[in-house]
Amino acid sequence: MSEINWLDIGLQFLGGFGLFLFGMNFMGEGLQKAAGSKMKNLLGILTANRFLGVLVGAGVTALIQSSSATTVMVVGFVNAGLMSLMQAVGVIMGANIGTTITAWIVSLGEWTEFLKPSVLAPIFIAIGVVRLMFAKKDGAKSIGQILLGFGTLFLGLDMMSGAAKPLSTLEEVKTLFTTLGSHPFLGILTGTVVTAIIQSSSASVGILQALALAGLVPWNSAIYIILGQNIGTCVTAILSSIGANINAKRAASIHFLFNLIGSAIFAIIAIIVFRFWLPNIGRTTIRVTEISIVHTVFNILNTLILFPFAGGLVYLAEHLVKGRRGEEKENGLQHLDERILETPSFAIENATKEVVRMGKLAETNVKRSMAALFEKDKEKAHQVFETEKVINELQHGINAYLIKLSNAPLSETEQLVVTGLFHAVSDIERIGDHADNIGELAESAIEKDLKFSDAAQKELQTISKQAIQCLELALDAYATGDYALAKKALPLEEEVDRLESKLRSRHMKRLAENVCDTFSGVVFLDTISNIERISDHAINIAELLLDENKCIALFEE
């Protein structure tokens, strides 16, 4: 028997694992891009009911090829207040089912010679590279990325199984797997530790399948390792919940409890089967497809068993993670969470909501600043200044989030959406500045006890009403993607421009006739100038829907 070169085996196996992991992630990115806005439409389903949550969790995980990523995203949704713990339970259960898709992809090679990794890898890589390099359309490029990822995954699998084959002749390796099969705790611990280190159950199952291809893994050790892998995958979500609010920590705890309870139930069943009922089967070598079957059956049965006890899981999580609602510090950003960046289409949906929320704050501030001026209310002016601080904080927070989002794997359409969000944030921040300016003018008018003539007061009410209506239409259009609403804002902005010019001339005439005093005149002119600029920025937001170059393409699909 030839001597085994451990260095060559180690390097080949690690290189193969690296290609497998890269291919899995690259394929997931391509699937996300191909899904486009259909992914963000799933957000509405998430809020419907727990059963649909299971389906969505499975679907999203099948697309992004990682139950850990889906669960991290769920922690983000709970942290952002977009999902309740009961809704999170369904998605987490579905994520465990969806993660089995990778194992089935790996199993293809056992079904027929043509589907073997060594055959499919070069075909998919070649087609994928050609499509990525020469395709013009987004969709075609995404398919190219999927195929290239698929091929790289198979190439990595082929390298790992090839590296492991010489080990099948070693009695020490066979003894190791026999030991893992004979000691359930050791098998489960091995699966847990390996998965916790690489933070992907799909990848760790891929390693197990590569070893199975080399004929190294018996049934009993495979099952215990798979149970451990399901526990180990919880580490990513638990780490992700550090620094999040109490409910987000509870969501991560639900993921851990779900997998731990399920693994404990099936470990007991496996021990009974392999020790007292079918001991010979436990020692026979498991095939790659059989690993996929075990992995899938475990996750489906675990969901069926624990689904009726979702309330119990929430109850346990609430007692495991102590704390009362409202204890955590309130975050200015309500819809954004970096965990959601794992799935850019969802992150774009939430970023849009946060931008609209910022816009509504600016709209409220415009109304409040005008009320402070008309009613000579100093308290309202101070409220304007405080809200302006919040708007500025939101601008910095949203822009920082959008920068990270723009570096995520986005399609050209999604990149266009993110660019539009940057523009919207800038315009909303400027609207907030002009509201703040009017608040300062109101404060100055109150302190100096300035008075407007009846004509000036009426004119200010007329122009401010037009500008506020223009802003309301622009923000509502942006929030809903309603082109008709956006078009309705255009004539209002034109009317504000016309009024601003007309009122400026009229007021200059009143000043010349000494109908208004000079200080009141300055406040009046500065106010209508700020109102006119508010309508300008409002129409910029509306034009994000109407301008072909800045169009919010997300709403078109």
Of residues 503 and 200, more confidence is placed in 503
Radius of gyration of the chain from its Cα atoms, rounded to whole angstroms: 30
Residue 298 burial (CB count, 10 A): 24
Least confident of 4-18, 104-118, 284-298, 366-380: 104-118
Is the CB of residue 286 less than 8 Å from the CB of residue 222? yes
Contact (CB, 8 A) for 431 and 364: no
pLDDT score for 433:
95
Cβ 231 vs Cβ 192: under 8 Å: yes
Determine the distance from the C-alpha atom of residue 504 to the mean position of all C-alpha atoms in its chain, rounded to a whole number. 49
Which pLDDT value is given to residue 328? 43
pLDDT higher than threshold 80 for residue 291: yes
Residues 336/405, Cβ–Cβ less than 8 Å: no
Query: What does the angle CA 291 – CA 294 – CA 299 come to, to the nearest 5 degrees?
Result: 125
Mean pLDDT for the chain? Answer: 82
Q: What is the pLDDT of residue 555?
A: 43
372-394 burial: b if 16+ Cβ within 10 Å, else e: bbeebbeebbebbeebbeebeeb
Backbone angles phi, psi at 285, to 5 degrees: -75, 135
* Per-residue pLDDT at 370 exceeds 90: yes
Cα–Cα distance measured from residue 309 to residue 311, given in angstroms and rounded to the nearest whole number? 5
Instruction: Identify the residue whose tokens are 């999902």.
Output: 83
Q: Could you identify the residue written with the tokens 């399609």?
A: 411
pLDDT tens per residue across span 33-53:
666 555 555 555 555 567 788
Q: Which residue has the higher pLDDT, 170 or 456?
A: 456
Considering Cα of 299, then 301, then 305, then 308, what sign does the dihedral take? positive
* Among the ranges given (35-44, 310-319, 470-479), the one the predictor scored with the smallest mean pLDDT: 35-44
Q: How far apart are the first and last CA of the chain?
A: 62
73 vs 433, which has greater pLDDT?
Answer: 433
Average pLDDT over residues 149-161: 80
Question: Poorest-confidence range of 134-138, 239-243, 504-508?
Answer: 239-243
Above 60 in pLDDT, residue 412?
yes
pLDDT of 550 above 60: no
Distances (CA, A) of 370 to 106, 428, 463, 528: 65, 17, 11, 11
Would you list the DSSP string of 183-213? -HHHHHHHHHHHHHHHT-HHHHHHHHHHHHH
Cα angle 259, 261, 264; round to 5: 105
pLDDT at 556: 45
Positive or negative CA dihedral for 406, 408, 411, 417? negative
More confident residue, 50 or 148: 148
Please say whether the beta carbons of 428 and 360 come within 8 A: no
pLDDT: which is higher, 9 or 171: 9
In this prediction, residues 365-369 reach a mean pLDDT of: 94
Q: Report how far residue 420's alpha carbon sits from residue 87's, in angstroms, rounded to the nearest whole number.
A: 31
Report the pLDDT averaged over residues 65-85.
73
Q: Domains along the chain?
A: 6-320 (no CATH), 341-556 (1.20.58.220)
Q: Describe the chain by its helix, strand, coil percentages, rounded to 5.
A: 85, 0, 15
* Residue the block writes with tokens 């939430």: 350
How many angstroms separate the CA atoms of 90 and 51, rounded? Answer: 6
**CA atoms of 389 and 42, how far apart (whole Å):** 34
pTM for the model stands at 0.68
Calpha distance 237→248 (Å, rounded): 10
The residue among 447, 433, 450, 283 whose CA lies nearest residue 365 is 433
pLDDT at position 96: 86
Please tell me the least confidently modeled range out of 252-256, 294-298, 419-423, 545-549. Answer: 545-549
| Residue 169 or 328, more confident | 169
Task: Specify the higher pLDDT residue, 285 or 73.
Answer: 285
Looking at residue 330, its pLDDT comes to 41
